[in-house]
Amino acid sequence: IDLYYLHRWDPKVPIGESVGALAEMVAAGKIGAIGLSEVSVARLREAQAVAPIAAVQNEYSLWSRNPELGMLEATRESGVALVAFSPLARGFLSDGIEDPAALAPKDIRLNMPRFQPDHWQANAALLPAWRELAAEAGCAPGQLALAWLFSRGEHVVPIPGTTNLEHFRENQASTGVGVDAALLARAGELIDTATVSGPRYSAASEAEVDAESFVSAGEAAQ
């Protein structure tokens, strides 16, 4: 296994203990490198004091900016890959969701505040301008979202997932999409913490992760 993640840190177990066990697996040749997921900068530093960390997998996209509270810079400075999961905002930025009510009953997005009725209307109102901006850039909406992430640093590695073949091909081609800095800046202003309504997770789910968080516009209005 080239890269083995501690996918969630258990606060009942010191992270140094968990990483120490993984370091033993590296020494034994069972895994190549250690990664962490949904951790804070403080936790990353604790882990790095025990063993080298190759990657941190935290959610990062235009509408989830949590890594900008420290992790983006911390990983850059220490030569750690920042693996951005849900880079397309769980389908929102690829324009793949018309109405969350049409999602399958067991779709996890139905439990996420931003896709629930209290917040969806405000978030959906951003989509027309988002589509127009992508058209101006000459690319698909999802490609614009990935281009913005690529611009955040060479150490940022988006990992989009899809069940749609067309979107898969769009994602593959996104590395060749050229978008100028001014338009990327406009994308960052259109969709960010100040314009998106609702927290990324429910309170219960948020309590299960260690990554930095801040109050979104939607939360502040409550």
**Sequence-separated contacts (24+) of 129-138 with Cβ below 8 Å:** 129/190, 130/93, 130/95, 130/187, 130/190, 130/191, 131/95, 133/183, 133/186, 133/187, 133/190, 136/183, 137/177, 137/179, 137/183
DSSP state of 156: E
Question: Is the pLDDT reported for residue 127 higher than 80?
Answer: yes
> What would the two tokens of residue 46 be?
């604790």
Position 215 scores a pLDDT of 55
Position 170 scores a pLDDT of 87
> What would the two tokens of residue 150 be?
């690529």
For the chain, report the end-to-end CA distance as a whole number of angstroms: 45
- 154: exposed, middle or buried (C-beta count within 10 Å: 0-12, 13-18, 19+)? exposed
Domains along the sequence of the chain with CATH:
54-217 (3.20.20.100)
Average pLDDT (22-42) is 97
pLDDT (tens digit, 9 = 90+) per residue, 77-106? 999 999 999 999 999 999 778 889 888 888
DSSP state of 77: H
pLDDT (tens digit, 9 = 90+) per residue, 161-215? 888 888 889 888 888 888 899 999 999 999 998 999 999 988 888 888 888 887 5
Average pLDDT (132-147) is 95
Position 183 scores a pLDDT of 96
Question: Is the pLDDT reported for residue 115 higher than 90?
Answer: yes
Question: Is the pLDDT reported for residue 135 higher than 70?
Answer: yes
pTM: 0.90
Position 219 scores a pLDDT of 42
**pLDDT band at residue 55 using 50, 70 and 90 as cut-offs:** very high
Beta-bridge mates of residue 34 = 4
* Mean pLDDT across the chain: 91
